[in-house]
Chains A and B, each alone.
Chain A
Amino acid sequence: MTAGTQTQTYVLDKASKRAWRRRQLRRAGVHVLAVLIALWILIPIWLIATMAFSTPQDVRAYPKQIAPTPLSTDTMEFFLNAEGILPATRNSIMVALITLVLSTAISAPTGYAISRYLFPGRDAFRLGILAVRAFPIVILAVPLAEQFRDWNMYDKIYSLALMHTALTLPTTILVIASVFASVPKELEEAAKVFGSSPFQAFMRVVIPLALPGIAASAIFTFVMSWNEVFAAILLTLENRTLPALILYTLDKSSDPFKFAGGFFMLVPSLIFIFMVRRYLFNMWGQITK
């Protein structure tokens, strides 16, 4: 809508019709480009979904159809009933839930401190978190797996969750800090003026306002843990998470299994990204600051 008014102002403003036409052309170009990029992202998702909802015969067929006809859940059922998939899915969910709780609980106070207090060492701490965020996961997984073996914690759901908490912590801290920063300080102060204790002001004013953002960050933490595969495959053996199991059995699995697996792993991401879309920029924009 804003775009429309903008063009109109130009028409009213100046007579130069040529400029106006060029503008229209460019706008058309922008739209074509926008649609092309959207297709580049959507078509592969459509294709894997097609595979997941075709019959296994159609999945093996060649040339392939680009829409699932007939629509069938056989391939998905075959995947879900394959040995170990359901326990692995349960493991993945458990790991992601523990990670979500731990990561949010540990980062919330830190996020609050970073956004509300000016203290010596604050910038260094922030910088440290940024550095850790970019840190290679690969190097952490090997020694932690060794350590967990020594402590008899290897191949346990909670040890992988501890690792995932470490991996997600830097991002979660930065996101939660930006969530708290978006709650106006004045509101908190006003509450104090009207007689709330600092704690009451925090609980009654800051928390309700920050809660949706924190929920979005928690969802994002869940997705990060659900997606993580390198640490998962190194730290588990019997209790594989879903991505670790799929990766581990890749060379023995059939195409229907792989495609259904790929789609199954993708679904939560689609849903969750949709749920947190309003906060995406809040989250990822943070890394640059």
Chain B
Amino acid sequence: MSRLRKVNWAPYLLILPSFLYLLAFFGWPMIRSLQLAVQRDSQILPIYAEPNQESVVVGKLERGTFVTVLDVIREEKSGAAGGLLSRPQFWLKVSGLTPDGDEVVGWAERGNVFVQDASRSDTGEVVEKEVPVYAEPNGQSEVLGTLPRGADVKIVSWSEQGARVEAEGLLSKPAQWIEVRATDADGNAISGWVQRGPVFVEDATISARGRVASGEGAREWTLDYIKRMVRDRNFKKALTTTLILIVLILPLQFTLAIVMALVLQARPRFTTLFLYIYSIPLGISDLAAGLVWYSIFTQKGFLNSFLQELGLIDKPFIFISNEHKHWIIVAIVLAEVWRATSIVMVIVVSGLQAIPLELLESAELFGANLRQRLWHVILPLLKPSLQVALILRTILAFQVFAVVVAISGGEVVTVLANETYRWYDIGGYNNPHVAAAYAGFIMLISLSVAVIYLRTVRSQEEKVAKP
């Protein structure tokens, strides 16, 4: 036996796939998430105090930031460079939020800010030498003639091609084609398609909303996103609500789960049927549970119908509203208790099964009543199962999401996970960095709660062991 046994590699080979998979999908994203929260890898647009590049930079806006356009000025540029005629330059006075959430107002060049619904005037001017006019709005079609520099064109229609929403939610610049009527180099009237670039068209109006489209590349460590998260108007609200929900849900859930398990332990008639019914919520999604309880608590819902039939109210009471946040919380708590108690129950039941029957019987024999048996025999023996369930449920409770959105719409009452989603959502704030900061924050508090639990448990055990 003292001889070293040959290492059996079989189990390692068998666990290898899942080990690698978990590493790739848990280890790596976790690091990446923290990196996203504290590293800027984007483009930053300087905002100037005056509409010229020599003036003071009053702030910086990140690519993708929404801005409000306050003013537009036109600046003639004497640019012989690049063979261009004087192509006027535009400056926009914009207001937007810096990466850490401060408001900045100042000037930016038009080219760096994408304004989606700018309307354009119906005349243009050719600013390059010999611009070809095509029969179709693409460069492969027949060339009908050329336009000389300086020619005025009358715009008939526009065609935008290849405009698409990029991953970041920005419109990539489309290839714009203009159908024009003009006089060509030989003095003949011509009509056809030209590309927008060589023909300068002034914006007749500019919409008040825009988005930063480009800037100087920046890759640096930053606390901006974390600051932005903490300063976010919903941060405190979301954190408080999440904590309130945990404090309300967990005790209810555990009490009910223990009662359910004890009822099953007492083996009533049709135990299997009851067991099945009690297990149904295991398969119900949080979204479905939220919608179920929404049907009860909504204005024309079952609860109001019930109260009205009983004659307790004469018109529906609006539970889900800005003024009755506590009722929304009640609905969410009930939905979560309804849905997730079964998970705790199953853990408690398997914990109960591990308790030797003789122990319970002898306690009963010695005259311990139900309460005494519960406090002095059952609960202490259940402790390990309850601890696991508690840690599991607390961590999951920090991620409560769909129930809240289904019941409250996610505006009036919001939670941390919902904020993560809102910051990530392309139709929403569309800022993965702040979303990652939120996600990291959720992980941090769930981990610390788990550690605190384990510590408390250990110190209690030591206390018991010492005297």
A-to-B contact residues, CB < 8 Å: 2-3, 27, 30-31, 33-34, 37-38, 40-42, 44-45, 47-48, 51, 60-64, 66, 106-107, 109-110, 112-114, 116-117, 119, 122, 125, 128-129, 132-147, 149, 154, 162-163, 165-166, 169-170, 173, 223, 226-230, 233-234, 237, 243, 246-247, 250-251, 255, 258-259, 261-263, 265-266, 268-270, 272-274, 277, 280-281, 284-285, 287-288
Chain A residues with CB under 8 Å of B385's CB are: 288
A42-B280, A133-B392 given; name 20 further pairs at CB < 8 Å: A37-B278, A119-B12, A125-B15, A132-B26, A134-B395, A136-B446, A137-B399, A138-B443, A139-B439, A143-B36, A154-B167, A229-B402, A243-B402, A250-B405, A255-B295, A262-B406, A273-B279, A281-B350, A284-B347, A285-B347
Judged by a CB distance under 8 angstroms, whether B90 is at the interface is: no
Chain B residues with CB under 8 Å of A42's CB are: 277, 280
Which of A64, A109, A113, A149 is B167 in contact with, Cβ under 8 Å?
Answer: A149
Judged by a CB distance under 8 angstroms, whether B10 is at the interface is: yes
Q: For the complex formed, measure the closest distance between the CB of A211 and the CB atoms of chain B, giving whole angstroms.
A: 18
Bound CA span A137–B281, Å? 20
* Interchain CB contact under 8 A, A255 and B298: yes
* Interchain CB contact under 8 A, B350 and A258: no
- Show 9 A/B contacts (Cβ-Cβ < 8 Å), sorted by A: A3-B268, A30-B266, A37-B260, A41-B281, A122-B11, A136-B395, A139-B30, A262-B292, A266-B284
* Interchain CB contact under 8 A, A173 and B18: yes
Which of A33, A138, A243 is B417 in contact with, Cβ under 8 Å?
Answer: A138
Chain B residues with CB under 8 Å of A274's CB are: 276
* Interchain CB contact under 8 A, B276 and A277: yes
Bound CA span A285–B440, Å? 30
Which of B17, B22, B35, B438 is A109 in contact with, Cβ under 8 Å?
Answer: B17
Chain B residues with CB under 8 Å of A233's CB are: 421
Which of A146, A269, A281 is B432 in contact with, Cβ under 8 Å?
Answer: A146
Chain B residues with CB under 8 Å of A270's CB are: 280, 283
Judged by a CB distance under 8 angstroms, whether B379 is at the interface is: no
Closest chain B residue to A198, Cβ basis:
B10
Bound CA span A98–B18, Å? 16
Closest chain B residue to A4, Cβ basis:
B269
* Interchain CB contact under 8 A, A223 and B283: yes
Chain B residues with CB under 8 Å of A170's CB are: 22
Bound CA span A143–B32, Å? 6
Bound CA span A51–B288, Å? 13
Task: Report if A140-B267 is in contact (Cβ < 8 Å); known contacts: A41-B338, A166-B21, A169-B22.
Answer: no
Write the B98-118 contact mask toward A (1 if CB under 8 angstroms, else 0): 000000000000000000000
Judged by a CB distance under 8 angstroms, whether B293 is at the interface is: yes
Task: Report if A145-B276 is in contact (Cβ < 8 Å); known contacts: A230-B402, A261-B291.
Answer: no
Chain A residues with CB under 8 Å of B280's CB are: 41-42, 45, 269-270, 273
Closest chain A residue to B17, Cβ basis:
A106
Bound CA span A225–B12, Å? 28
Which of A62, A139, A261, A269 is B443 in contact with, Cβ under 8 Å?
Answer: A139
Q: For the complex formed, measure the closest distance between the CB of B100 and the CB atoms of chain A, giving whole angstroms.
A: 19
Bound CA span A278–B121, Å? 73
Of the candidates B25, B290, B293, B398, the one having the most CB atoms from chain A within 10 angstroms of its own CB is: B25
Bound CA span A266–B450, Å? 31
Chain A residues with CB under 8 Å of B15's CB are: 109-110, 113-114, 125
* Interchain CB contact under 8 A, B399 and A113: no
* Interchain CB contact under 8 A, B424 and A234: yes
Write the B385-423 contact mask toward A (1 if CB under 8 angstroms, else 0): 100110110011011011001100100000011001100
Bound CA span A141–B443, Å? 12
* Interchain CB contact under 8 A, B259 and A106: no
Q: For the complex formed, measure the closest distance between the CB of B418 and the CB atoms of chain A, giving whole angstroms.
A: 10
Chain B residues with CB under 8 Å of A149's CB are: 167
Judged by a CB distance under 8 angstroms, whether B305 is at the interface is: yes
Chain B residues with CB under 8 Å of A3's CB are: 267-269
* Interchain CB contact under 8 A, A169 and B349: no
Bound CA span A106–B402, Å? 29
Write the B41-62 contact mask toward A (1 if CB under 8 angstroms, else 0): 0000000000000000000000
Which of B26, B274, B302, B420 is A64 in contact with, Cβ under 8 Å?
Answer: B302
* Interchain CB contact under 8 A, A34 and B402: no
Which of B26, B275, B285, B406 is A166 in contact with, Cβ under 8 Å?
Answer: B26
* Interchain CB contact under 8 A, A255 and B29: no
Task: Report if A281-B277 is in contact (Cβ < 8 Å); known contacts: A230-B401, A243-B287.
Answer: no
* Interchain CB contact under 8 A, B287 and A48: no
Q: For the complex formed, measure the closest distance between the CB of A203 and the CB atoms of chain B, giving whole angstroms.
A: 15
Which of A27, A34, A143, A166 is B22 in contact with, Cβ under 8 Å?
Answer: A166
Chain B residues with CB under 8 Å of A285's CB are: 346-347, 349-350, 353
Chain A residues with CB under 8 Å of B157's CB are: none
Bound CA span A71–B339, Å? 27
Bound CA span A261–B290, Å? 11
Judged by a CB distance under 8 angstroms, whether B218 is at the interface is: no
Task: Report if A60-B401 is in contact (Cβ < 8 Å); known contacts: A44-B292, A125-B19.
Answer: no
Bound CA span A61–B300, Å? 7
Q: For the complex formed, measure the closest distance between the CB of A51 and the CB atoms of chain B, giving whole angstroms.
A: 6
Q: For the complex formed, measure the closest distance between the CB of A262 and the CB atoms of chain B, giving whole angstroms.
A: 3
* Interchain CB contact under 8 A, B288 and A262: yes
Which of A141, A162, A247 is B402 in contact with, Cβ under 8 Å?
Answer: A247
Task: Report if A287-B263 is in contact (Cβ < 8 Å); known contacts: A60-B300, A230-B421.
Answer: no
Which of B11, B293, B409, B442 is A138 in contact with, Cβ under 8 Å?
Answer: B442
Q: For the complex formed, measure the closest distance between the CB of B395 and the CB atoms of chain A, giving whole angstroms.
A: 5
Q: For the complex formed, measure the closest distance between the CB of A140 and the CB atoms of chain B, giving whole angstroms.
A: 5
Chain A residues with CB under 8 Å of B294's CB are: 258, 262
Closest chain A residue to B348, Cβ basis:
A288
* Interchain CB contact under 8 A, B25 and A163: yes
Write the B368-392 contact mask toward A (1 if CB under 8 angstroms, else 0): 0000000000000000110011011
Chain A residues with CB under 8 Å of B274's CB are: 34, 37-38
* Interchain CB contact under 8 A, A234 and B421: yes
Bound CA span A165–B24, Å? 12
Which of B263, B399, B438 is A34 in contact with, Cβ under 8 Å?
Answer: B263
* Interchain CB contact under 8 A, A287 and B347: yes
Q: For the complex formed, measure the closest distance between the CB of B140 and the CB atoms of chain A, giving whole angstroms.
A: 27
Bound CA span A21–B287, Å? 46
* Interchain CB contact under 8 A, B309 and A63: yes
Task: Report if A134-B392 is in contact (Cβ < 8 Å); known contacts: A42-B277, A48-B295, A258-B294.
Answer: yes
